[in-house]
Amino acid sequence: METLAHWINGTAVTEDDGARTADIVNPATGVVSGRVPLADAERTQQAIAAASDAFPAWRDTSLSKRTAVLFAFRELLNARKEELAEIITAEQGKVLADALGEISRGQEVVEFACGMPHLLKGGHTENASAAVDVHSVRQPVGVSAIVSPFNFPAMVPMWFFPVAIAAGNTVVLKPSEKDPSAANWMAELWKEAGLPDGVFNVVHGGKESVDTLLSDERVASVSFVGSTPIAKYVYETATSHGKRVQALGGAKNHMLVLPDADLDITADAAVNAGYGAAGERCMAISVVVAVEDIADELVSKIAERTRSLKVGDGTRGTDMGPLVTVEHRNKVAGYIDAGVEAGATLVVDGREGDFDADSADAFLNPTLFDNVSPDMSIYQDEIFGPVLSVVRVKSYDEGLALINENKYGNGTAIFTNNGGAARRFENEVQVGMVGVNVPIPVPMAYYSFGGWKSSLFGDTHAHGAEGVHFFTRGKVITKRWQDPSQLGINLGFPTNG
């Protein structure tokens, strides 16, 4: 049984026997494929030191050389993405096509970061005062820590590191311990692309490693994605150590369906967005808010589609894979029990049925609840599994109020053919990413990804202009080239003119 290595200063670094590890398990088979080391503070500091030492030279590497490495990384990633998809499916469980999808969304950010020379251009003002010119630059912040969740082991790190690296920073990535191998694969790809040693490091671990990243004074910024309680903790801890932090948290995404929506299109969208990746997406739709008398028809169309999904090992051409672990599967099944107990109508019971897999332990079939009310735990909590709830409301206003009162504000969508209603929704909804007849409105790489309320701590979203801003600091230079005509003493306060 192999123990995965950390990746520090361009080299695989293995732990000695007896170091703390956790199992890496294929959730579709139940087979333990390896072990992941859980770094202590010292090992994490070694990765930080490598990133810190590599920073001065990388910061001063020309933009054309830096972006040449980004272009090379993009080409390698595109050519070999099937390898990475297989790693993701073997550890996270999502079906291969979905793993390829997450890689292509990550690749978009690499492509965006290839344009860094344009993105870093500052402003210039000539003659701001007599013979005085002013210009602004944006400079890299230094060592950037990235702490990522299990559900997108390639895409979420790629929301950050292409932008950080292209802007001249060096990186320590702490991936999820549940599916850690994608990070090592990407580290080796960087090396092949020509990235200097120490610019991209991977340290595997849990709380001890993360806490070291949050407090070490050599770390300048922290980009975190994960559950809301940890996001809040990361934000509070790292900011108290003077770091800039973007900490993206959990979600409960609603799809508001107005009576004029096309119900077949809407039912397809609800099923795709509710059960894709077994509901383990931060932009998954988990609540369908059905207005007025379309609810019966909509629920029956969603139920029919839900029952037709093939669930099993993601390498076997199925629609939906397992949950990430048996423990998580059992937690999600517990929510189904709780929904029944609370009086919701269980339309499709995912605790029943078969799976096309060697081990059924981490699997659930898609589950549909109707007549869910906001006080139930299946509505209140982020379940992060294939459980879709339908809440019935009387009007657009009641649906909007429900969404705005929810503590999360990551994504939402409205389904309607009424442009005026959609426009009102865009304007009034208190959520960071909004779809109009688009159920999973993940912004393109050149816009920024991020939610509101308990879905994001800090004020900076990922990638796009906000990502560039996060990974750089502004500097304004005011200058005057001495000229013999300016000789003479003058103690007055400098004024314009």
When asked if residue 148 is in the footprint of ligand NAD (CB under 6 A), the reply is yes
When asked if residue 98 is in the footprint of ligand NAD (CB under 6 A), the reply is no
Q: Which is nearer to ligand NAD, 15 or 177 (CB)?
A: 177
When asked if residue 458 is in the footprint of ligand NAD (CB under 6 A), the reply is no
What is the C-alpha separation between 85 and 64, in angstroms, rounded?
30
**By C-alpha distance, which of 18, 417, 12 is closest to 183?**
12
**By C-alpha distance, which of 88, 97, 95, 98 is closest to 179?**
88
Q: Which is nearer to ligand NAD, 141 or 433 (CB)?
A: 433
Q: Which stretch binds ligand NAD (CB under 6 A): 35-43, 160-168, 248-256, 333-341?
A: 248-256
The residue of the chain with the least Cβ separation from ligand NAD equals 226
Q: Which of 227, 239, 272, 359 binds ligand NAD (CB under 6 A)?
A: 227
Q: Which is nearer to ligand NAD, 151 or 472 (CB)?
A: 151
Q: Which is nearer to ligand NAD, 52 or 237 (CB)?
A: 237
Residue 272 CB neighbour total at 10 angstroms = 15
Q: Which of 171, 187, 248, 468 binds ligand NAD (CB under 6 A)?
A: 248
Q: Which stretch binds ligand NAD (CB under 6 A): 146-154, 260-268, 300-308, 473-481?
A: 146-154
When asked if residue 90 is in the footprint of ligand NAD (CB under 6 A), the reply is no
Token pair in block for residue 132: 């005085």
When asked if residue 362 is in the footprint of ligand NAD (CB under 6 A), the reply is no
When asked if residue 322 is in the footprint of ligand NAD (CB under 6 A), the reply is no
Token pair in block for residue 122: 């500052």
Three-state DSSP at 330 gives helix
Three-state DSSP at 174 gives strand
How many helices (DSSP H) and strands (DSSP E) are in the chain? 15, 22
DSSP secondary structure code for residue 84 in this structure: H
Strands in 278-355 per DSSP E? 285-291, 345-348
When asked if residue 276 is in the footprint of ligand NAD (CB under 6 A), the reply is no
When asked if residue 207 is in the footprint of ligand NAD (CB under 6 A), the reply is yes
When asked if residue 335 is in the footprint of ligand NAD (CB under 6 A), the reply is no
Q: Is 114 a catalytic residue?
A: no
Q: Which is nearer to ligand NAD, 317 or 334 (CB)?
A: 334
DSSP secondary structure code for residue 439 in this structure: S
When asked if residue 378 is in the footprint of ligand NAD (CB under 6 A), the reply is no
Rg (alpha carbons) of the chain, rounded to whole number? 25
When asked if residue 37 is in the footprint of ligand NAD (CB under 6 A), the reply is no
Residue 139 burial by CB count (10 A; 0-12/13-18/19+): exposed, middle or buried? middle
What is the C-alpha separation between 270 and 275, in angstroms, rounded?
8
What is the C-alpha separation between 127 and 347, in angstroms, rounded?
71
- Fill in the per-residue mask, 279 to 308: x = in contact with ligand NAD (CB under 6 A), - = not in contact: ---x--------------------------
Q: Which stretch binds ligand NAD (CB under 6 A): 56-64, 174-182, 195-203, 488-496?
A: 174-182
Q: Which of 90, 186, 202, 210 binds ligand NAD (CB under 6 A)?
A: 210
Q: Which residues contact 347 (CB under 8 A, 6 or more apart)?
A: 299, 303, 368, 369, 370
Active-site annotation holder among 110, 282, 288, 290: 282
Across 5-19, b (16+ Cβ under 10 Å) vs e yields bbbbbbeebebeeee
Q: Which residues share a beta bridge with 439? A: none
What is the C-alpha separation between 469 and 82, in angstroms, rounded?
32
Q: Which of 55, 384, 396, 425 binds ligand NAD (CB under 6 A)?
A: 384
Catalytic residues: 282
- Chain residues binding ligand NAD by CB under 6 A are 147-152, 156, 174, 176-177, 206-207, 210, 225-227, 230, 248-251, 282, 382, 384, 410, 451, 455
